[in-house]
Amino acid sequence: MTERPDGLREAVAGIWCAMLGVDHVSPEDDFFEAGGDSGLAVETAISLRALTGTDLDLDLVYQHPEFGGLLSFLTDPRPEGQERPLTPAEERLWFAERLHPGSPTYHIAALYRIPGRVDVPRLRTALDALVARHDSLRRGFEAPGRAVTSPTATVSCRWLDACGLPEATVRDLIDEHARQPFDLANPPLLRALAVDRGDEDDLLLLTVHHLVCDGASLAILEDDLGKLYSGVEPDPRPDALPETASRLFDEDEARAYWRRTLAGAPRGIALPHDLPRTASPGSAGAVHALVAPDDLLAGMADLAAQERLSPFMTWIVAYVAGLVPLTGERDVVIGIAASSRTPEQRGEIGMFVDPVPLRLALPDGTTTRDLARAVRRATAEALAHRGVPFQTIVEDLGPGGDPARAPLVQAGLTYLDAADSALRLDDLVAHRELLPTGTAKYELLWSVTRHADRTTTEFEHLTGLFSAERAADVHTGLLDAARAAFSRPDAPLRLPGRPPATAARTDPERAPTRARRPIPELVRLRAAQRPDAPALRHRGVELTYRQLDERAVAIATGLRAAGLRRGGVVAVPLPRGIDSVCAYLGIFYAGCAYLPLDPEQPPDRVRTALLGVADAVLVAGPHPSLPPEVPVLELADLLAGRDADPAVPVRVVGEDPAYLISTSGSTGRPKTVVVPHRGISRLVPDADGIVYHADDRVAHLCNPAFDASILELWGALGSGAVLVVGDKQDALSPARLRAFLAEERISVLGLPTALLHTVIDFEPDAMSGVRLLIFGGEKADEQRLARLLANQPPARVVNVYGPTENTTVSTLQRVTPADLDPGPLSIGRAVSGSTAHALGLHGEPVAPGVEGELYVGGEGLALGYHGNPALTAASFVPDPFGPAGGRLYRTGDRVRPRGDGTFHFVGRTDDQVKVRGFRVELGEIELALRSLPDVTDAVVFARATADSTELLACVTGGAALADAAGIADGLRARLPEYMVPAIVVTDRLPLNANGKVDRAALLASLPDDLPASGGDTGEPPADDPLAEAVTALWCESLGTATARPDDSFVALGGHSIKALKLLARVDESFGVVVDLADFLAEPTLRRLVDSVSRETENAPTS
């Protein structure tokens, strides 16, 4: 049991006497008989709270009016658990825990290398004594948000015999122990692991949850534990006299300070991450550590001495000076961890830090010294007003910012002086090493620790945003910029210019394009490097790189003999196979471009595609119905031995046309896009997130007339991998695709979105052996992707978007479970070497969140439309944002920029229809249909009628799918009446040759007149007590008087803590636990009511 020092008795007596104006006190004295009134009783309780650092009840003196009773209550905690509400700091962490249950984000894992042996029984005894001494180490946390301090708790202290185990294994075991979740309701939130490594030093791991400990507490913990282990009495707990008046804190004034200081502050910092931002980047993190260079420390020490800065302030200067050039922002808000520890809490272990936002704006000409003074002032002011919980500061600012990011502060800084702290077990001295937990608390947290012999900086970052390489680069850049700043304190800082307006565009300099070899040169290089490696296989026939190269040289020689020269166009109406691939490469070697054609197309289409475009047609075998105007070359003839042509392979440059793709044009005249080599070279063999390796086995399943095939063909052959040709039937049945993938051990697979959907429906785990899955071509269905990711998914899943006119891929997005929740999947950001802009009607960039037309530019841009200068000029327009003379392609796709370079696809510019005067997005109806139970896919059409536009939907689904009327009813629950289409339930949606849903065929198959969607208006019953009760809680938590079913909790300013409270109230009122993450995914009142009523209906009736 804890032993209180006599100091406490004296301190309590001091308060008692001061309040009652008496000289001394005896145990039997009664507070109220001695002249105390209710006001004094409350003041006394407040003073005792300050003294003990615990949230004593304000009617404490009423409970224990006699001094003796009061004292024994304070010195001997009640045997049963003591409950209190959470402090704001605890509430923040508790909320984070509820959002990511079991995450080790807030574990503090301190590892000590003990230069000798740990006596484990003694350690156990010492740990238990430590826990008895510190209330926080007996504290647990219970829903919906209470801290409960138990009278006793026993520390789990494991001993691990790791003699002879390899270092890496030991590390893994330690990491596992450190990251194991705590049961927060079961104190202590502290555990230990002692590792015996035989001849080597013992290791001791202490893992403690941040809810009960902080950086400064760790030093206290080390000190006390060391003394208890070594048989020395720990320092008595300080018994400072309570400050009463000075501790009174004007909360209104402080809140006004924060509102004033943060008015108009940016809500998000533009961090230089390299991975596309997803809807929710998760909490997975990593740490990059550096040792601060001596010249930086020297420069910092000089300026600190001149400007009377604390070390912490000096590091804030370094951080801001480093962030400004990296982020390109001159008005930044960072979070610093400020101690809220009162003097009375000096020796206490606990959670006494709270993030404090620090805003720094840097006008032109700001020097490092100016910044230092600004930091000094801002820090002093912030600390003076730190009593306002961070959540309250955010709440007071009102709604705003990206809901997918942490509110207000995404970049943090901590500073800890650990130079004097050590764990001393007898005469064994060990310094802590804080272990990364594989998580990150902020998008970026810079943790500076001063050790006795060095200062380390740790760059903790979300791995969903920063690759390891980028994190290392940014961290180094941060230190470099700080060094430059401190080396010349009176020189103006190098400040970035502001980006023009709120241009929703990606930075063209984000990924400087490398000079890349054209693909034919790259394939030749692979053939020279590994001539006997397999290059190509089809139905068991295999070609090595040498054989492929030889065939391509022969074909090129033959083409030149037939008169073709650099810049010529050769049509290839061949099915996928060894011949077609050799033909394309041979055409490249001749300096020509290939025009791939689907041989199964109607002859008329082949003919129109060829005429006026191709200089020759390359065939293998009989070739019926080719137009007589174009010379036909037989592959076998070309391969027949000829004398070597010294010009082969013909050298090409990036601007040389590589291939042409014939697309259907709205006018009937085909549009033939001419794509240059630079377009392919920027994508393969490696682009952001799509990297092909020499040991890959890449499936070639794409129709070559579809431009996604270039990723397969040249991704494989450009990297030295094997291109495995699959036949049509391999791809069109999920079961066969599964067999193909398994038999051929495919590691890289590309699928059109519609086909991917089908595969997921039938064989969701068919792609478990695939390393890289690339899909695109249509809007993806989040529910299906979620199913894919839950079933042994490919290691990397990438969604690509892009028109042929910008070489297959314009933007891309890696898909992780976090992206699917909440909201629609983003199409990501511009791929390296490309730019993307969302522009308004007059070519002006639209603000984040506002719809615009997507314009794309950069290295992938096509040369234009073959033989069609007017269409080219209309579609490829001058680029006002990029390098001089550049062009942008108008995609005709409507997108919504998200402000971080990523885009949401909205639809086609020509896909918007009006129904009864309302603007209707067909995609929105499709999305709603797909979200109905048992609906697997849906396509919606707008069809003009005599006097209006009618909406039609084709729906496929499982056996339990409702009938058309039932589906329409389900839809009415999600959409306004005018958006509910007539429903046709079909067995399947036809796919066209490119694997996309064949909308034309589908529309043609529909009957001319369909029953109107009709039906009742779907108004909810007016009299629903449950809905009313939920609405009341909703209004109460938002502080509003009324609510509508479609109101969004988040849009109305309900932040995450409020959400947690609302759900806690729901739990109390209805006994229904609504998952916080689920609620935030769709935070509408309607959804909440649904969740509650569903649960209450399911509840046992007994």
Partner 1 sequence: MTESSTTTAPEYDVVVNDEEQYSIWAVGRAVPAGWRTVGVTGSREACLEHIEEVWTDMRPRSLRVAMGER
Nearer to partner 1, 192 or 863 (CB): 863
By CB under 8 A, tell whether 612 contacts partner 1: no
Secondary structure (DSSP) of 807-819: -S-SEEEE--GGG
Residue 843 binds partner 1, judged by CB under 8 A: yes
Show Cβ contacts of residue 123 under 8 Å, excluding neighbours closer than 6 positions: 157, 192, 194, 204, 229, 425
Choice from 308, 842, 919, 1044 touching partner 1 (CB under 8 A): 842
Burial of 393 (0-12, 13-18, 19+ CB in 10 A): buried
Among 102, 567, 602, 1071, indicate the residue that binds partner 1 (CB under 8 A).
567
Position 869 contacts partner 1 (CB under 8 A): yes
Please provide the size of the chain in residues. 1102
> Rule CB under 8 A: is residue 998 a binding residue for partner 1?
no
Beta strands of 123-255 (E only): which ranges?
Answer: 139-142, 146-149, 156-161, 190-196, 202-209
If one asks whether residue 527 binds partner 1 (CB under 8 A), the answer comes out as no
Closest CB to partner 1 among 784 and 890?
A: 890
Strand partners, 287: 460
Q: Is 74 exposed, middle or buried (0-12, 13-18, 19+ CB in 10 A)?
A: buried
Beta strands in 721-761 (DSSP E): 722-725, 748-752
Asked if 187 and 140 touch (Cβ cutoff 8 Å), the reply is: yes
Q: Rounded to an integer, what distance in angstroms lies between the CA atom of residue 497 and that of residue 494?
A: 10
Kindly report the three-state secondary structure assignment for every residue of 325-373. Answer: HHHCCCEEEEEEEEECCCHHHCCCCCCCEEEEEEEEECCCCCEHHHHHH
Least Å from the CB of residue 679 to partner 1: 13
Q: Which is nearer to partner 1, 622 or 885 (CB)?
A: 885
Nearer residue to partner 1 within complex by CB, 17 or 871: 871
What strand order describes the sheet that includes 935-944?
935-944, 949-957, 982-985
Give 122's contacts (C-beta < 8 A, 6+ positions apart).
Answer: 229
Out of 181, 343, 612, 883, point to the residue binding partner 1 (CB under 8 A).
883
**Strand partners for 894:** 853, 907
Instruction: Return the axis-axis angle of helices 578-589 and 709-719, rounded to nearest 10°.
Output: 70
| Number of residues binding to partner 1, judged by CB under 8 A | 27
C-beta of 863 vs 951, nearer to partner 1:
863
Alpha carbons 357 and 879: distance in angstroms, whole number: 39
Q: Is 878 in the site for partner 1 (CB under 8 A)?
A: yes
Q: Is 876 in the site for partner 1 (CB under 8 A)?
A: yes
Q: Which is nearer to partner 1, 166 or 885 (CB)?
A: 885
Query: Among residues 794 and 845, whose Cβ is nearest to partner 1?
Result: 845
How far apart, in Å, do the first and last CA atoms of the chain sit? 45
Binding segment toward partner 1, per CB under 8 A, in 633-641, 707-715, 873-881, 968-976: 873-881
Q: Minimum distance from CB of 903 to partner 1 (Å)?
A: 22
The answer to the question of residue 515 lying near partner 1 (CB under 8 A) is: no
Confirm if 333 and 356 have CB atoms less than 8 A apart. no
Tell me how far, at minimum, the Cβ of 563 lies from partner 1, in Å: 17
Nearest Cα neighbor of 747 from 783, 695, 805, 789 is 695
Contact (Cβ atoms closer than 8 angstroms) between residue 903 and residue 852 = no
Kindly write out the interface string for residues 649-668 of this chain, putting x where it contacts partner 1 by CB under 8 A and - elsewhere. ----x-xx------------
Q: Which is nearer to partner 1, 183 or 655 (CB)?
A: 655
Phi, psi of 817 (to 5 degrees): -55, -35
> According to CB under 8 A, which one of 227, 405, 887, 1061 is a site residue for partner 1?
887
Minimum distance of partner 1 from residue 873's CB (angstroms): 4
Q: Does 499 bind partner 1 (CB under 8 A)?
A: no
Both tokens of 706, joined, read 């579809």
C-beta of 570: minimal distance to partner 1 in Å?
17
Task: Please report how the helices 294-307 and 311-327 are oriented relative to each other, as an axis angle in degrees rounded to 10.
Answer: 120
Nearer to partner 1, 631 or 886 (CB): 886
CB of 856 to partner 1, least distance (A): 15
* Interface with partner 1, residue 1007, by CB under 8 A: no
Report the distance separating Cα 588 and Cα 548, nearest Å.
Answer: 13
Q: Residue 874, interface with partner 1 (CB under 8 A)? A: yes
| Residue 566 interacting with partner 1 (CB under 8 A) | yes
Residues 845-864 within binding reach of partner 1 (CB under 8 A): 863-864
Quick one: 355 or 591, whose CB is closer to partner 1?
A: 591
Does position 669 bind partner 1 by CB under 8 A? no
594 versus 941: smaller Cβ distance to partner 1: 594
Which range touches partner 1 (CB under 8 A), out of 112-120, 800-808, 876-884, 1059-1067?
876-884
**Crossing angle between the packed helical segments 1025-1038 and 1085-1098, to the nearest 10 degrees:** 130
Residue 886 found at the interface with partner 1 (CB under 8 A): yes
Stretch in the footprint of partner 1 (CB under 8 A) among 200-208, 323-331, 731-739, 871-879:
871-879
Among 877, 961, 1029, 1073, binds partner 1 (CB under 8 A): 877
CB nearer to partner 1: give 325 or 518: 518
Min CB(875)–partner 1 separation in Å:
9
Q: Work out whether 646 is an interface residue with partner 1 (CB under 8 A).
A: no
Residues within window 149-178 making contact with partner 1, judged by CB under 8 A: none
Interface ranges with partner 1 (CB under 8 A): 566-567, 653, 655-656, 674, 842-843, 863-864, 866-867, 869-870, 872-874, 876-880, 883-887
